[in-house]
Amino acid sequence: MGQWIDGAGIAKEIQEEVRVEVARLKSQGGMPGLAVVLVGDNPASQIYVRNKVRVCESLGMHSEKIAMPSTATTEEILTVVRRLNEREDIHGLLVQLPLPRQVDARAVINAICPEKDVDGIHPANVGHLVAGRAVLKPCTPAGIMEILRRHSIPLRGSRGAVIGRSEIVGKPIALMLMHEDVTVTICHSKTPDLPLVTREADILIVAMGRPAFVDDSFVKQGAVVIDVGTNRVDSRERIQEIFGEDAGRLADFDKKGYTLAGDVHAARVLPKCSFLTPVPGGVGPLTIAMLMANTVKAYSLSRTSIPAAAERQS
């Protein structure tokens, strides 16, 4: 029987490490600062931004939320980004995605100063990641690597598979694993006989956006399975199919009209794997924790002449 990975517990450890470092910097007269630009009134985005600002403040850092209407144009957002780029008290800058349809999201991302790009998605930082030289790495993949490191999961010489090839999770986590000498296969919707491929993996990362899609037939005995999916399931029948008569899940549905499910069918996979991240409470909390860590790194970059990359340490 596999063990659940306590992502929330690891996130608290990282946040405490950040809190100690922020206190040290403040004792020397420093203050890391994070600015988050929120465009429109997407409910999920509002929750994400509120949580980011709350955690930032709880760790003793300066934080700002810049709210813009859903009618904002690309140029209006670019004007805000450029102004934040120039502010010396703002060291980390992110624009919450997704942006309204009329906005050129790529132009906005490209306008962020790479040394302030705490999401790690500016093309310059993506290039540094490809080269194994990144300092500011995408937060969710960086959080996954922390999970593996803090559980002492053997990486060098192991085989990994990633289901999903997104710019935010799939591609960067494949690169990070590869830089740790993992042999990685990236899988997607056009991969033939997907379970045959993923059953070769000692480490399986699932980020595809399909609730409970991956069952035990996809998993090698004893594999580590990281479930990145966060899907709303709003059918009682489907919830019972995935979770059985789990009273907590059914109560969640009765209260909110939905419950969250990962991309992995946990009840079928847990008996076969060695470790599995739950949803919620697995990878999700690490994303904000790594954002806070990136903000402190961005502060350090602002105090040196080092670009947003450093030589890979073997």
Predicted confidence (pLDDT) per residue in 33-79, tens digit: 999 999 999 988 999 999 999 999 999 999 999 999 999 999 999 99
pLDDT in tens, 107-152: 999 999 999 999 999 999 999 999 999 999 999 999 999 999 999 9
Tokens 């990362």 belong to residue: 205
Q: What is the dihedral of CA 123, 91, 302, 84, to 10 degrees?
A: 80
Residues 227-242 pLDDT 10s: 999 999 999 999 999 9
Supply the pLDDT for residue 295. Answer: 98
**Phi, psi of 268, deg, nearest 5:** -90, -30
E-only strand ranges, the chain: 3-4, 33-39, 62-68, 92-95, 159-163, 183-187, 203-206, 224-227, 231-233, 259-261, 275-276
The predicted pLDDT at position 312 comes to 39
- What is the CATH architecture assignment of 139-287? 3-Layer(aba) Sandwich (3.40)
CB 258 within 8 A of CB 280: no
Rounded to an integer, what distance in angstroms lies between the CA atom of residue 214 and that of residue 223?
13
- Per-residue pLDDT, averaged over 197-219, amounts to 97
Indicate the angle between helix axes 139-150 and 284-302, nearest 10 degrees.
Answer: 110
Q: Name the pLDDT band for 1 (thresholds 50, 70, 90).
A: confident
Residues 203 and 224: their CA atoms lie apart, in Å, by: 5
Residue 313's pLDDT band (cuts 50, 70, 90): very low
Domain formed by 23-116, architecture: 3-Layer(aba) Sandwich (3.40)
Residues 6+ apart with CB under 8 A from 124: 114, 117, 308
What's the mean pLDDT when you consider all of the chain? 95
Across the strands, what pairs with 206?
163, 227
In the predicted structure, residue 253 carries a pLDDT above the cut 70: yes
Name residue, tokens 């140029």: 75
Distances (CA, A) of 70 to 36, 76, 83, 98: 15, 11, 20, 11
Share of the chain above pLDDT 70, in %: 97
Supply the pLDDT for residue 24. 97
Domain assignments of the chain as residue spans, ordered by start: 23-116, 139-287
Q: What is the DSSP string of 251-263?
A: HHHHHHS-EEE-S
Q: For the segment 15-44, what is each residue's pLDDT rounded down to a tens digit?
A: 999 999 999 999 999 999 999 999 999 988
Asked if residue 306 has pLDDT above 50, the reply is yes
Same fold yes or no, 23-116 and 139-287? yes
Task: pLDDT band for 308, please (50, 70, 90 cuts).
Answer: low
pLDDT in tens, 199-208: 999 999 999 9
Which residues form the catalytic set?
52, 96, 119
Q: What does the alpha-carbon distance between residue 92 and residue 34 come to, in Å, rounded to a whole number?
A: 5
One-letter amino acid of 16 = E
- State the CB neighbour count (10 A cutoff) for residue 202: 19
Per-residue pLDDT for 311 more than 50? no
